[in-house]
Structure 1
Amino acid sequence: MLYLEEPQLEFRHGQHLVYPRDGLYLYGPVGETKELPTIRYGVIGTPDGVGRFKAWAQSMAGFIDIPPPGPRSRAVEPQHVPFPGFAAAFHADWPVEPPYIIDSLDPDEIEQTLRIANRHEAVRNTVDMFVSRLVAENNRLESAPQFWFVVIPEKVYELGRPKSTVRRDDRVAGEVTISQRRAKELQRQPTLFGEDEREAEVYQYATHFRRQLKARLLKERIVTQIVRETTLAPGDFRRESGMPIRRVEDPATIAWKMGTGAYYKAGGKPWQLADVRPGVCYVGLVYKRSELTSDKRHACCAAQMFLADGEGVVFRGALGPWFQTDTKQFHLDKDAARNLIKMVVGEYTRLHDGPPTELFIHAKSAFTDNEWRGFSSACGDETNLVGVQIAEARDDLKLYRPGEYPVIRGTALQIGERHALLWTSGYVPRLDTYMGPETPNPISVRVLRGECPLTTVLADVLGLTKINFNSCLHNDRLPVTIRFANAVGDVLISAPMDGEPKLPFKFYI
């Protein structure tokens, strides 16, 4: 058995702590705060939604205390940290009045659109309402906001997801008459004049509001933070019994999470991993199949590049027959593999005036010989290329220990020279608790290609569970290279892609 120390995070003045909220509360974000003196954000929503956002924005400027202990809580819950106010935590001004406002969305029109029987048409038309206004406003402004808060009514959340349904009596007719099955047939046998194909284009858009909105705004380079009205003002939405329609986290926790996301999407860097080896670069491979194609092997691919400071860039690769129906795994051919990593190395070289000394490729599946030759050909002799498979190991092994709490986070069981099970979740001494609902499960970490000490790889993976800037948690269970692979892939297949193939990670989350 091995135990890996909890990775340290770096904050302002070079201070090191393990919990993001501690570091931001005591010291502030890492780096030079003068580069981001104020947060320039916009908000779009219905009049009521924007009104609720304004009230919440006012609260972000001040101190928000931790919740009082509940009947089943301890007197002190160390995971809770008061929110000191945005300026105190992030050393940047927070406008209590949104600098840019779009409040022309009609809630009745949104709900009527969401009730269209064809779900692809319903969600696409709903997204149209937001996208058209955001693009028009961004083009009109000389100095556009750094990002937009998109405040959505609860109906958008309820009916803007793939498995959502509208009751038959509530459905309204749309304009699309062609079926999804017919749309797939047209890919193999197109018509002479293309009229059916134009109507079938609606099926290129996903039935998930969030993913489609993100996808369609990529080419416009508009960053968004989507938030439900019920998150901002849960007390405004109650059942007949008087209870809130949904349970949300306490106001301080919401402020920490949304404040961190806002600071990051505005261009700030909340924290970074401390004492990281110079010249290291991590890449997570992303694959996603679309249900809209008639070829089951057809999939998109992408690479997420993450640097030591936590900054991420997504590179969109080529579409192709990457899904292997026999093994149920994704693999690139040599040329596609080379081109994908060539983009990564090129961007790293541009940022650092030289190629990485270490490049770790993280993937859920193994690497074929042909694929690895492609990756290797994109790297020079000065780069040590290492391929790491990170997979679920929920059913492989359960560890228990005496006492009230489970195995300590950072515990590892080495199975061989190049393979170990790593517990990235578990009891956390700083929090004096385990935040999960069940016995912690390990992940499998296996060095499949290249050479690097296993303990170094494990320590890197553990560190990469701590740089989720879309939240402000102590850690995630999966490293950021794998954690967001599905989310990025979902965005890539949610609308036709014809924009910039390289964009910062913040556009996708």
Structure 2
Amino acid sequence: MENAKQPNLRVMFPGMSLGHGFDATLKFSQDLARTIRKSEVDDIVAIADRRTRVTKAIELYYEHIKFLAQNRPVDVVVCVIPDALFKVISTDERGPAEETLEASVEVASELNFRRALKARAMHLGKPLQLIRSASLESNKRGQQDDATKAWNFCTALYYKAGPRVPWKLQTDDRRPSSCAVGIAFYRSRDRQVLNTSLAQIFDELGNGLILRGTPVDMSREDRTPHLSANQAYDLLTAALNEYRVALRAYPARIVVHKSSNFSADEVDGLTSAASDLRIDTVDLVTVMDSKLRLFREGNYPPYRGTRIEMDEDRHILYTRGSVWYYQTYTGLYIPQPIELRIVRAEESPSFIAREILGMTKMNWNNTQFDGKYPVTLGCARKVGEIMKYLEDNDSPQIRYGFYM
């Protein structure tokens, strides 16, 4: 797509082929496909009760996914949802206009087709990519341009097919290996368990691992969920052991992100776990939405990457804002910076801020490079929304691609 004033804002899609773009090929054929009959769709559409309707739709797609996963050499299963079906099973998943970080992921208890289907099929070991049939139409009014849709769709497929990433952070061979761990919480669907802890681990190359922790309670005095020292110790130990299995070595450094303040017990448990695994460098950082706004001269907001030091341990960071390469600000709303509260750090504040800024680029569900939050916390809602559909005896997949 051409844009004379901002030539870098929209990039033409190069296609999926060897030697170009993704340097990969999409292999698909009728033998790798299953057809959902119109009569099956009509039968589901005719069901009056919404929960029954969604449940029947989940089972219909699950049976086809199961056949392909067990009988065909597929890497990702793409589920195309006809518009007639989408209209009667979809749930409005639009969040607030401005992204927010939550101490605990809590969503409506209404049965959600996309989340429940991904949870239902998770044990089959093949990531799912859901797409509306209307999204496959070219130049459809009210949708993204064709190039942007192709970029986003193929980027997600490329990552989910794994183990590979479309892009990664620039690494410095002179520095020791590092991994980032995000700790979040989500509420069970039956609301009997207040919150369950969640660890999201990402290495410098963009490999993501997801780990479910244990249920935790909230005190009457503090309505924010916290881990006990033992829970923090066990969760980080389990997360780093998964990291070691995947990469065959423990990292030399870990940085732990939370969207709420660290309690003394959490600090004790996390540092003890790192010490027992002989990891010398541990940084603990709280990432929160900031209520402050900065203004600069002109029509555009502050540049992405702007950092303001409030004091030694508190910093304001603009992860969204004007981008010199684009010659504009791509957002729809005045950007809200995030606040970094450094609880413990061996690294400098500038290094920690640059690291978090880099991690905002590591969402491979689309090609938007300037996410608001680091992937360690930014994906917590998506993971928690799907994890809550799993039973206690279900084994969650550890690859992030299953939750996108």
TM-score by length of 1: 0.70
Q: Does the alignment pair 1:408 with 2:303?
A: yes
AA matched with 1:101? A
CA distance in 2, matches of 1:234, 1:213: 27
Which residue number in structure 2 is paired with residue 57 of structure 1?
Answer: none
CA distance in 2, matches of 1:322, 1:123: 32
Equivalent in 175, 180, 188 of residue 282 of structure 1: 180
Which residue number in structure 2 is paired with residue 26 of structure 1?
Answer: none
Deviations 1:81-121 (A, max 9, x none): 11111112111222364651011x23453354356454433
Equivalent in 120, 125, 141 of residue 216 of structure 1: 120
Q: Does the alignment pair 1:389 with 2:277?
A: no
For the structure 1 residues 251 and 347, does the alpha-carbon distance in structure 2 shift closer, same or farther, using more than 3 Å as the test?
Answer: same
- 1:98-109 mapped onto 2 (5 Å cutoff): 100-103=32-35, 105-109=36-40
For the structure 1 residues 404 and 230, does the alpha-carbon distance in structure 2 shift closer, same or farther, using more than 3 Å as the test?
Answer: same
For the structure 1 residues 163 and 265, does the alpha-carbon distance in structure 2 shift closer, same or farther, using more than 3 Å as the test?
Answer: closer
CA distance in 2, matches of 1:107, 1:407: 52
Which residue number in structure 2 is paired with residue 225 of structure 1?
Answer: 129
Q: Does the alignment pair 1:90 with 2:19?
A: no
Which residue number in structure 2 is paired with residue 368 of structure 1?
Answer: 263
CA distance in 2, matches of 1:467, 1:495: 25
* Number of residue pairs aligned between Structure 1 and Structure 2: 383
For the structure 1 residues 111 and 234, does the alpha-carbon distance in structure 2 shift closer, same or farther, using more than 3 Å as the test?
Answer: farther
CA distance in 1, matches of 2:144, 2:320: 20
CA distance in 1, matches of 2:9, 2:259: 31
Secondary structure of 1:262 counterpart: helix
Which residue number in structure 1 is paired with residue 154 of structure 2?
Answer: 259
For the structure 1 residues 161 and 349, does the alpha-carbon distance in structure 2 shift closer, same or farther, using more than 3 Å as the test?
Answer: same
For the structure 1 residues 405 and 508, does the alpha-carbon distance in structure 2 shift closer, same or farther, using more than 3 Å as the test?
Answer: same
Q: Does the alignment pair 1:207 with 2:108?
A: no
Contact kept? 1:334, 1:373, Cα under 8 Å = yes
Which residue number in structure 2 is paired with residue 28 of structure 1?
Answer: none
- Give the drift of 1:442: 0.4
CA distance in 2, matches of 1:430, 1:330: 40
CA distance in 2, matches of 1:490, 1:336: 22
Contact kept? 2:181, 2:202, Cα under 8 Å = yes
Equivalent in 392, 395, 399 of residue 294 of structure 2: 399
Percent of paired sites with the same residue:
28
For the structure 1 residues 76 and 302, does the alpha-carbon distance in structure 2 shift closer, same or farther, using more than 3 Å as the test?
Answer: closer
Deviations 1:31-68 (A, max 9, x none): xxxxxxxxxxxxxxxxxxxxxxxxxxxxxxxxxxx2x5
Which residue number in structure 2 is paired with residue 445 of structure 1?
Answer: 340
- Give the drift of 1:435: 0.5
Contact kept? 1:160, 1:207, Cα under 8 Å = no
- 1:79-478 mapped onto 2 (5 Å cutoff): 79-87=9-17, 88-95=20-27, 97=29, 100-103=32-35, 105-110=36-41, 112-113=43-44, 116-141=47-72, 144-162=73-91, 207-233=111-137, 247-267=142-162, 268-276=164-172, 277-293=175-191, 295=192, 298-318=194-214, 320-380=215-275, 381-393=278-290, 396-478=291-373
CA distance in 2, matches of 1:475, 1:215: 28
Which residue number in structure 1 is paired with residue 106 of structure 2?
Answer: none
Contact kept? 2:387, 2:396, Cα under 8 Å = no
- Give the drift of 1:156: 4.3
CA distance in 1, matches of 2:87, 2:241: 42
AA matched with 1:233? E
Which residue number in structure 2 is paired with residue 174 of structure 1?
Answer: none
For the structure 1 residues 487 and 345, does the alpha-carbon distance in structure 2 shift closer, same or farther, using more than 3 Å as the test?
Answer: same
Secondary structure of 2:117 counterpart: helix
- Give the drift of 1:501: 4.3
Which residue number in structure 2 is paired with residue 38 of structure 1?
Answer: none
TM-score by length of 2: 0.87
CA distance in 2, matches of 1:413, 1:133: 53
- Give the drift of 1:160: 3.0
- Select between 410-419 and 341-350 the one with higher mean Cα deviation: 341-350
Contact kept? 1:389, 1:446, Cα under 8 Å = yes
For the structure 1 residues 162 and 496, does the alpha-carbon distance in structure 2 shift closer, same or farther, using more than 3 Å as the test?
Answer: farther
Give RMSD over aligned pairs.
2.4
CA distance in 2, matches of 1:335, 1:106: 52
Query: What stretches of structure 2 of length at least 5 have no aligned partner?
Result: 94-108
